[in-house]
Structure 1
Amino acid sequence: MNNSKPVIAHLIYRFDIGGLERVMVNCINAMQNEGYQHIVIALTEVSDFAKHLNDSVKVYQLDKKSGKDLKSHWRLLKLLRKIKPDLLHTYNLATIEYHPISRLAGVKAHIHAEHGRDNSDPQGLNKKHNLLRQLISPFVDYFVPVSTDLHQWLDVTVGVSNKKNVLIRNGINIDEFHHLRNHQEDNEHQVRFIHVARLDPVKNQVGLLKAFAILVQRKKLTVNDIYLTVVGDGNEMQALIVLAEGLGISSLIEFTGARSNIAELLSNSDVFVLSSIAEGIPMTVLEAMASSLPVISTNVGGLAELVTDDETGYLVEKQNAEALSSAMEKYINNSKLIKLHGRSARSYIFKHFSEQKMVSEYLRLYQELLGKS
C-alpha cells in the first residue's frame, strides 16, 4: 500500500453489527485526522455495517471456512505482504492465532484486544484457549482488555505479563446522545424497558422474559403499565417469540430485530435491562447510560464498573429470574427513580467512559510501538 502514513490493520472474525465492531468503527473514525491509515480485514465476511466506516478505510474479507481453515493463514499472509501494514490489531480469541503469520509477513507491531470471553467459555477457563493465548503471547506486544475483570483474568488465569497487559476501557461519544429525552416525560404511568443484544444463549433472553413474566403476573400489569422492547437478531428469535406467547406476555413485548437507530429507541425508553451470563464492557450499556437510562444488569464481566446499586441502576445475580424481576419492580413502584438514576448514569459515563479517552489511549500505544519499529 503506497501511503506515507503508518498503516494499522484491524483483524476481526466477522465484520457485522455488534458491540465489538461498533467500538472498532467508532475508534477508527475518531482517528481519521491523527496521521494513520486504517484498513479492516474480516476473516469470514463483511456486511453492510462496514458502510459506517469513513470512506478512506479499505475493507477486505478472507472468506474463512468454519472450523480449521489453514488456507486462511496463507490468504492473510499474501494480503499483508501486499498492503504492508505497520501494525496488526486483532480482536478476541478467533483472531489471535494469526499473529505469527503477521510477523512472517513483515508486520513489526502487534496488539491483541480482548472485548469479552468466548461464548462457549464465559468464565475464560478453557485450558486449550488459554494455552493458545500463552503460546501466541511472544508474538504480541500488548494485550488490551476492555474491563478490569478481563484485565485481572489475563493476569491471573491466562498468565499475561503485566508489562503487556494494558487496560483500555471502551468509550462512547457522549455528545451523540445529548439530545435524547426520557419517555417518562411524556408518559408518567407506563414504564418502558429496553434490551439491546444479539439473541444468543449467552445473553440469556430466556431469563429476561421469565423475569418480565414474573413481574407482570405478580403486579397484574397491563400494557398501560409496562412494556419491553427487545432489539437484536439471532438464532434464538423464533424460540423467544414462542416463549413470550407461552408466558402470556407477547402483547407487552416487541421484538424489533436488528436496528440501526439505537439512539432513537433508547430515547423512547425508560430503563435498560441486561440479562447476560457473561460480558465485557457492553457498548449498549454505555449508550443507554449516556442516554440517561438507569441500567438493571446481571453482575457479570465489567458491569460492576458501570452500574452502582441504587445510584445508576441495580446489579443482580446471573440466571436468577426472580432477582431480575425484583429489580425491575423497583422502577414500577417508584418511577421517580428513573430520572434520578438516569441522570447519575449519564454523569458517570461522561466522567469515566468517554470516547476521547479511549482513542487517546489507543493512539498512545500505536505511537509507542510504531516509534520502536
Structure 2
Amino acid sequence: MKQVAVVCNYKLNPSRIGGMDRFFVAYDRKCKAQGCVVKWFFSGGKRFSFYKDLDIEICPDFSVENCFLNFQRKEKREFDFIVTHFVELCTSFFREVKNNGQPYIISVDHNPRPLNGFPIKKRLKNKLKGRLNSKYIDRFVGVSNYTRDQILNDYGHGLRSKTEVIYNGIDTGVYKKRTEENFGKFIVASHLRPSKGIQDLIHAVAILPTEFKNMIEIDIFGEGPMEQELKEVVKNSNLMEHFNFKGSSPDLPDLFQHYSYMLQPTYMECFSLSILESLASNVPVITTPVGGNTEVIVAGQNGFIFEAGNVLELSKMIEEILAKKKTISKPVHKVVEENYYLDKMVGDHAALLNL
C-alpha cells in the first residue's frame, strides 16, 4: 500500500467548514479507495467530527514543516508520496524530505502574490531558491493558470515541464441556490486582513449618495487581524447600520442564497473558493482582476470587475447596481457545476499518485 503524507499549513476550525476542508476529507477517502494509507499534518487548530476518519497530527508548537520532519525522525516512517498545501515552495524543507527515503514530492501552490509583485530582493531570493531546491520537488501544481505562471516567474521557466494546473473545486451540492433577488443585501466572506481590501469597501459605501447608502446592507463573515480596525472604520464613518460583522460560520452554504451579490475587493488571490461558493449559490460576484479571478468571472455575465484599490470605481459600481443600471439576469451557477466541482478536483489530485 502506498504511504502518503499530506503537509498543510492550514488550521482546522470547527466554526469554519469551507471548500478546502471538504477537499481534504474527500481526497482522503479517494486515496484510501486507491489503496493508499494517508497521514495528515496540519499547522494548528483542533480535530473535530468532520475529520473523524482522518489520521491527523496537529502541529501548534512548530511550523508544520518542522513538525513533519520531527515526526519522520521519531517514527522512522518512510512515505512514497509527500503532498504539500499552503507551504512555501522551494525551501530547504524539500531537500531534507527528499533525502529521507526519496519520496515523490508534489507541492500545491495556493499562495497569492502581491498586487504589484514581489520587491526585487524577494524576486532574487526566489530565483536562488528555485535554482537550489526546485529539483527536489517532482511536481508543481498551481490552482489556476495565474498561479502556474507565477510559479514559473518566481522559480524559473525551466520548471514548465513539471508544472500543471488543477483548479480548485467545491461540493456544489451543499450550496442552496438563490431564487429571490434579495435586493440591496450583500455578503463578504473573507479573512479579515489588509490584502482583502475590505477597508476599500467601507470607504466606497461611505461616499455613496445618501439615497443609495440607505438601500444597502452588508454582512461580513470571517475573522482576522484587521477585524477590530475595520469595526472602528465602520463606526467612525457612521455606517454601523449598514455593516454587520458575523464572524466565522460553518453555515455559509445555507446563507449565500439570502444575498444579491458577493463583494470581494481583494488585492491578492490565487483562485478564490469564495467566488466558487457564491456562484454555486447563484449569487454573482463583484471583485477585482487579481490572481485567477478573471478565469471564472466574466464581467456582465456572472459578476462585475473593478480595479483593485479603486474606491471611486467600486462606489460607482455599487451605485449603478442599486440604481439597476447594472444587472445580472441569468443564472450564474452553471460555470461552477460544469468546471469547478469537487469530484473533478479530487480526481485530478489523486491521479498524481498513479505513477
Where on the TM-score scale, by shorter chain, does this alignment land: which range?
Answer: 0.7 to 0.9
Percent identity at matched positions? 20
Equivalent residue, structure 2, for 1:41: 41
Does the CA-based 8 Å contact 1:299-1:316 persist in structure 2? Answer: yes
Equivalent residue, structure 2, for 1:242: 232
- Provide the C-alpha distance between the structure 1 equivalents of 2:104 and 2:294, rounded to a whole number of angstroms: 33
Equivalent residue, structure 1, for 2:321: 331
Amino acid of the structure 2 residue aligned with 1:365: L
Amino acid of the structure 2 residue aligned with 1:173: D
More divergent stretch after superposition (151-160 vs 191-200): 151-160
Out of 144, 147, 153, the position equivalent to 1:147 is 144
Does the CA-based 8 Å contact 1:122-1:278 persist in structure 2? Answer: no
- Provide the C-alpha distance between the structure 1 equivalents of 2:6 and 2:222, rounded to a whole number of angstroms: 25
Amino acid of the structure 2 residue aligned with 1:77: Q
Tell me the TM-score normalized by structure 1.
0.84
Question: Structure 1 residues 230 and 133, CA, compared in 2 at 3 Å: closer, same or farther?
Answer: farther
> SS at the partner of 2:170?
coil
Give, in angstroms, the shift of residue 7 of structure 1: 2.5
More divergent stretch after superposition (292-301 vs 30-39): 30-39
Question: Structure 1 residues 266 and 105, CA, compared in 2 at 3 Å: closer, same or farther?
Answer: same
- Provide the C-alpha distance between the structure 2 equivalents of 1:193 and 1:29, rounded to a whole number of angstroms: 35
Amino acid of the structure 2 residue aligned with 1:40: W
Question: Structure 1 residues 108 and 197, CA, compared in 2 at 3 Å: closer, same or farther?
Answer: same
> SS at the partner of 1:325?
helix
Equivalent residue, structure 1, for 2:200: 207
Give, in angstroms, the shift of residue 267 of structure 1: 1.7
Q: RMSD of aligned C-alpha atoms? A: 2.7
1:123 aligns with 2:117: yes
Equivalent residue, structure 1, for 2:190: 197
* Mapping for residues 153-164 of structure 1, pairs under 5 Å: 153-160=150-157, 161-164=159-162
Equivalent residue, structure 2, for 1:371: none
> SS at the partner of 1:367?
coil
Give, in angstroms, the shift of residue 116 of structure 1: 2.3
- Provide the C-alpha distance between the structure 2 equivalents of 1:156 and 1:242, rounded to a whole number of angstroms: 39
Amino acid of the structure 1 residue aligned with 2:260: D
Does the CA-based 8 Å contact 2:90-2:134 persist in structure 1? Answer: no
Equivalent residue, structure 1, for 2:167: 169
Does the CA-based 8 Å contact 1:62-1:76 persist in structure 2? Answer: no
> SS at the partner of 2:249?
coil
Unaligned 5+ runs, structure 2? none
Does the CA-based 8 Å contact 2:19-2:171 persist in structure 1? Answer: no
Equivalent residue, structure 2, for 1:88: 82
1:15 aligns with 2:11: yes
Question: Structure 1 residues 35 and 65, CA, compared in 2 at 3 Å: closer, same or farther?
Answer: closer
Give, in angstroms, the shift of residue 88 of structure 1: 0.5
Amino acid of the structure 2 residue aligned with 1:12: C
- Provide the C-alpha distance between the structure 2 equivalents of 1:78 and 1:219, rounded to a whole number of angstroms: 65
Amino acid of the structure 1 residue aligned with 2:204: A
Unaligned 5+ runs, structure 1? 369-373
Question: Structure 1 residues 336 and 319, CA, compared in 2 at 3 Å: closer, same or farther?
Answer: closer
Give, in angstroms, the shift of residue 78 of structure 1: 1.7
Give, in angstroms, the shift of residue 214 of structure 1: 2.4
1:346 aligns with 2:333: yes
Question: Structure 1 residues 75 and 180, CA, compared in 2 at 3 Å: closer, same or farther?
Answer: same
Give, in angstroms, the shift of residue 107 of structure 1: 4.6
